Amino acid sequence: MDKTIIYKRLYKDYSKKYLNKIIISAFFSILVAGSTSAIAWLLDPAIEKIFIQKDQSLLFLIPLMIILAFTTKGLSLYYAKAIMIGVGESIKKKLQYDMVDTLIGTDTQIIDKKHSGKFISNLTYDVTHITNLLSNAILTLFKDSLTLIGLLFVMFFQNWKLALISIIMIPLASIAAKTLGKRISKVTTEAQQKSGFLTTYLVELFKNHKLIKIFQKESFEKNRANEYLTQLKEKNQKIQTVFVRMSPIMETLTGIMIAILIFYSGILISRGELDINNFFSFLAAMMLAYQPVRSLSTLNMVLNQGLSAASRIMPIIDQKNMINDSSDAKDIKVKNSEIEFKDLNFSYESEGEQTLNSINLEFKGGKMTSLVGHSGSGKSTIMNLIPRFYDSQSGDITIDKQSIYKTTINSLRKEISMVSQETTLFDDTIKNNIKYANEDATEEEVLNVSKLSFCDEFINKLPDKYETMIGENGVRLSGGEKQRLSIARAMLKKSSIILLDEATSSLDSETESKIQEALKVLTKDKTTIVIAHRLSTILNSSNIYVIDSGKVMGSGKHEDLLRKSELYKHFYEQQIQK
């Protein structure tokens, strides 16, 4: 991504909104520059009048003016920084929101391709560098540029010959900074990658902590953690080392300049071309110019860090979804909820192996249909295509004769509820997890679905009942309790199509019987598609499709399939033996 394009984009989308505050900060930067220059200039009359001429009339006035100058500088610097801190945090929030907004709405296929830990690293590590570019760097540019200009004015006012010698330091420092800036961009990219690896590892570490303990891998994981932390430490250390490389360069340049200036000033004083008061005022201005020159010399490195981070963040924010409403999309009108797959082909990668091949399926409205087959046969893919988590390469899916690809995604998903084997819950209260399907649901509705799903049996035993916090992904609940909560949530949505992805496969027999009763309520008069591993689910189905290697290998009722499908018969016999 071109630097100019990034700068324009960052200004238009993020900085422009806060231009009035940036201008106010720039005004205070002018006061900082003016007061800093005044401090250096005041040394001229202070030395000449008080120390050389011994004029007592200015003995109180000049010290008071110096106090005023320092006070003005301090207050102005505070307000300039405080304003830009606010701007920086606002920009940071906007960047993070834009990224989260994109990730929430992005295609499932895009999310699946990248580990969540790397997205988290983008949200934290990269956004911080962009914020520094848009707030700290802007303030530095205003404050230190203006201060340097003011001090240069004092230096030229005192002696233009000495000023010409001293400004040689500025281009020399800029050359050094430009060289280091290229290095900082490369190292920052490497550090971000290491930060992403570490965040990814930490997500996995917390998610799999029980697995680590049962296989006694604590030492192994400690070593891995140490390796990731060491790699990140080394990259961050390199970044900081590159920054501090300016210190010896600036100190050496400053030392050379002062030495040359003292030498040349001695000559000028001996010739009567320079007074001692002019020299000290000039020297003060030059010493005060050290800080802005140093800051401006490292500004290029901050800019390169921010640009490097922006080149990684912007593509995420700009990510375009492949799954969108068509130009002629209309809200779906569901009456019978009859679903049909017509010659449908699908693969997860555009040039990859076909996952589904010429699939033709019919799901009768208000009936339960089961999908059976071995793991990896394509059952879950069929289910994920209905709410358009993915789109097929060819063929069509219709609901009540309406193509889902010509209906609005929002109206389509409004008609669908899903209960899967891997129950997803939020670290929130039980009530809020149930109400996630319908925030406007009444207390009575929540209590009703809790009873119908047998959730009330365990909820009422908890100290805080419906206000109980369940932990990350419901860690404080059993598998059966989590499953019942997800069924209650689906009930509350009151959708016409129910997708059950092995919804009872992780439950014991006693809990399963309760869940089956709950599912009867959930699926009553609803078009229900079940990925079935349990015999009870299969036998209750009005129709069964046998799926293998992405193809339909048979369909019919249980008794029919036992006679005409060897694959189904083998599958059924395996279930009996369990």
CA-closest candidate to residue 370, choices 156, 571, 87? 571
Q: How far is CA 160 from CA 152, 168, 268, 312, 320, in A?
A: 10, 13, 12, 47, 58
- Give tens-digit pLDDT for 408-435: 988 998 888 888 877 778 878 888 888 8
R_g of the chain, CA atoms, integer Å = 35
Predicted confidence (pLDDT) at residue 476 exceeds the cutoff of 80: no
**So what's the pLDDT on residue 208?**
67
Do residues 62 and 49 touch, judged by C-beta distance below 8 A? yes
- Give tens-digit pLDDT for 166-208: 777 677 766 766 666 666 667 777 776 787 777 777 777 777 6
Q: Which amino acid is at 444?
A: E
Which of 421-425, 535-539, 572-576 shows the highest mean pLDDT?
421-425
Query: Exposed e or buried b for every residue in 425-453, given b needs 16+ CB within 10 A?
Result: beeebbbbbbbbbbeebeeebbbbbbebb
Which of the 8 DSSP states describes residue 43? H
**So what's the pLDDT on residue 535?**
67
Q: Rounded to whole angstroms, how far apart are CA atoms 339 and 404? A: 10
* Res. 525 pLDDT band, cuts 50 70 90: confident
**So what's the pLDDT on residue 174?**
67
Do residues 131 and 313 touch, judged by C-beta distance below 8 A? no
Predicted confidence (pLDDT) at residue 152 exceeds the cutoff of 80: yes
The residue with greater pLDDT, 331 or 115, is 331
Phi, psi values for residue 556, rounded to 5°: 145, -170
**In this prediction, what percent of the chain has a pLDDT beyond 70?**
90
Q: How far is CA 531 from CA 435, 447, 510, 517, 546, in A?
A: 26, 28, 21, 18, 11
* Res. 27 pLDDT band, cuts 50 70 90: very high
Q: How far is CA 110 from CA 104, 316, 321, 330, in A?
A: 11, 10, 9, 26
Query: How many Å from the N-terminal Cα to the C-terminal Cα in the chain?
Result: 57
- Give tens-digit pLDDT for 63-98: 888 899 999 999 999 999 899 988 988 888 888 888
The residue with greater pLDDT, 518 or 462, is 462
Class of domain 3-317: mainly alpha
Do residues 554 and 561 touch, judged by C-beta distance below 8 A? yes
Does the predicted TM-score (pTM) go above 0.85?
Answer: no
Q: How far is CA 475 from CA 90, 108, 216, 436, 551, in A?
A: 34, 25, 21, 18, 37
**So what's the pLDDT on residue 339?**
92
**So what's the pLDDT on residue 68?**
92
Would you report the helix, strand and coil content of the chain in percent, each value rounded to 5?
65, 10, 25
Q: Structure tokens of 242?
A: 């590159």
CA-closest candidate to residue 79, choices 18, 26, 133? 26
- Give tens-digit pLDDT for 247-298: 777 777 777 877 888 888 888 888 888 788 888 888 888 878 877 877 777 7
DSSP letters along 351-395, please?
A: TS--SEEEEEEEE-TTSEEEEE--TTSSHHHHHHHTTTSS--SEE
**So what's the pLDDT on residue 76?**
93
**So what's the pLDDT on residue 182?**
63
Q: How far is CA 219 from CA 33, 57, 230, in A?
A: 57, 77, 16
Q: Rounded to whole angstroms, how far apart are CA atoms 501 and 520? A: 15
pLDDT mean over 442-468: 87
Q: What is the separation of C-alpha 547 from the centre of its chain, rounded to a whole number of angstroms?
A: 38
Predicted confidence (pLDDT) at residue 300 exceeds the cutoff of 80: no
**In this prediction, what percent of the chain has a pLDDT beyond 90?**
9
**So what's the pLDDT on residue 505?**
53
pLDDT mean over 546-562: 85
Q: Structure tokens of 210?
A: 């029980």
